[in-house]
Amino acid sequence: MERQLTYEEALSELQGIVKKLENKEVKIDELASTVARANQLVEYCQSKLQQTEAEIQKIVKKG
């Protein structure tokens, strides 16, 4: 999974998949990989949420 993916992007992609499926825009050939991608997105978000972050980094402001 791309490390840069935000929760918003993941959810949006997931919802995009839902819409495509419901509009029957997904070919049977792509069905398994599409579902797998959806699953991956969900898992990615869950794991990201569960991930432990020690503390919040202070950012050096350029001013």
Partner 1 sequence: MSTTKKSYTLTQLVASIKKVLNRTYGEQSYWVTGELVKLNMKGGHYYLELADSVNGINTAQMKATIWRTQVLALQQNLGEEFRQLLQPGNRLLFRVTVTFHEIYGLSLTILDLDPAFTYGEIELKKKQTIERLQREGLLNVQKQMRLPLIMKKIVLVGSPDTSGYRDFLTELKQNRIFTNFVIQEIPTTVQGDKAVTEICAALLEADNYAADAIVLIRGGGSKMDLNVFNDYEICRTIAQLHLPLLTGIGHETDEVVADLVAHTKHITPTAVAKFLYIRVGTFRSDLQTGLDRILTQALSSLASATEQFTNTNKFLTHYFQNIITDYRSDLQAKLHRIEVGTNEILAEQRALLDLSLEKSVVAAGHCLHIVQTIELPAILEKMVLRSTNLIEIQRLELLNLQEKVAVLNPLKLLKVGYTISSIANTDLSQYKGEFIGQELQTLTDQFTVYSTITKIQK
By CB under 8 A, name the binding residues for a copy of itself: 6-8, 11, 27-29, 31-32, 35-36, 39, 42-43, 45, 48-49, 51-52, 55-56, 59-60, 62-63
Residue 1 binds: one of partner 1, a copy of itself, none (C-beta under 5 to 8 A by kind): none
The half-sphere exposure of 11 on its side-chain side, counting CA atoms within 13 A, is 5
- Choosing from 2, 3, 4, 57, the residue that interacts with partner 1 (CB under 8 A) is 57
d(CA 12, CA 27): 20
